[in-house]
Amino acid sequence: MAAIIKTPELIEKMRVAGRLAAEVLEMIGEHVKVGVTTDELNTICHNYIVDVQGCIPAPLNYGHPPFPKSICTSINHVICHGIPDDKPLKDGDSVNIDVTVIKDGVHGDTSKMFFVGKENIMAKRLAIVTQECLYKAIELVKPGCRLGDIGEVIQNHAEKHSYSVVRDFCGHGIGEGFHEEPQVVHYGRAGTGEELKAGMCFTIEPMINAGTHKLKVLKDQWTAVTKDRKLSAQWEHTLLVTENGVEVLTLRNDEDFPRIITH
């Protein structure tokens, strides 16, 4: 299975879906506070996605077993695919909110780290380094770049700070499908892997752990947690490879990072 090169018409739809996904994360920030449950955050996001944006929340009923909620909320040592529940957020929690919307048949997929109450210094430091991993990888994206180039820059930056890169989950192609080719792993060796071409769309979404990269998946068959219960962080963007660089389709207004990079 080769990566799908997107048509100009599809790219325009991807820009819209990406912007809408980013808007959900911009909207939800003020609601992330001590005492709020992730189920309440899920309801707010679901209603906004469906009623305000006229979109479909892609995670809802996705996969096997069907994912039961409209967003993923991964707290502290949860790496990804955390299921919103009725447990209130506590002072010092860090939570990744992962949003994917479907608009006009295409997907926009993005995630952001949020901090509850008084920031946990260790969690904040991990989140900053993880976001730097994402940005360093995005800066490399252009036609001719290889997936191994992306993996190596992420792995080097994480390990330089004595963190580890999760191996079991990766970024992915995206478009009319939620998960398409290629698989975008966040570790590896420069000069290896598939060569990027203009018109490809995919996510980069490094999951970086404070301790071991090893994980376990809970009985719900979705929630992935660090094996040593140390903190994990993740950020994600949906990207378009342009003729001479990259466009970040899910860039938020709170980010000091260019939407378009040309080489």
To the question of whether residue 107 is assigned a binding role by annotation, the answer is no
Neighbours of 105 (CB within 10 A): 11
To the question of whether residue 81 is assigned a binding role by annotation, the answer is yes
Instruction: Determine phi and psi for 90, rounding to 5 degrees.
Output: -110, 160
Neighbours of 37 (CB within 10 A): 15
Per-residue exposure over 6-32, b if at least 16 CB sit within 10 Å of its own CB, e if not = beeebbebbbbbbbbbbbbbebbeeeb
To the question of whether residue 132 is assigned a binding role by annotation, the answer is no
Q: Give dist(CA 189, CA 90) in Å, integer.
A: 39
Structural element, H or E, at residue 42? helix 38-47
User: In this structure, are residues 231 and 77 in contact, taking their beta carbons and an 8 Å threshold?
Assistant: yes
Instruction: Determine phi and psi for 161, rounding to 5 degrees.
Output: -100, 15
To the question of whether residue 179 is assigned a binding role by annotation, the answer is yes
Q: Give dist(CA 196, CA 181) in Å, integer.
A: 12
Q: Token pair for residue 85? A: 């529940």
To the question of whether residue 237 is assigned a binding role by annotation, the answer is no
Give ∠ CA 220-170-8 in degrees, rounded to 5: 115
To the question of whether residue 98 is assigned a binding role by annotation, the answer is yes
Q: Residue 251, exposed/middle/buried by CB under 10 A (0-12, 13-18, 19+)?
A: buried
Which amino acids are annotated as binding site for substrate, given as ranges? 81, 179
Which amino acids are annotated as binding site, given as ranges? 81, 98, 109, 172, 179, 205, 236
Which amino acids are annotated as binding site for a divalent metal cation, given as ranges? 98, 109, 172, 205, 236
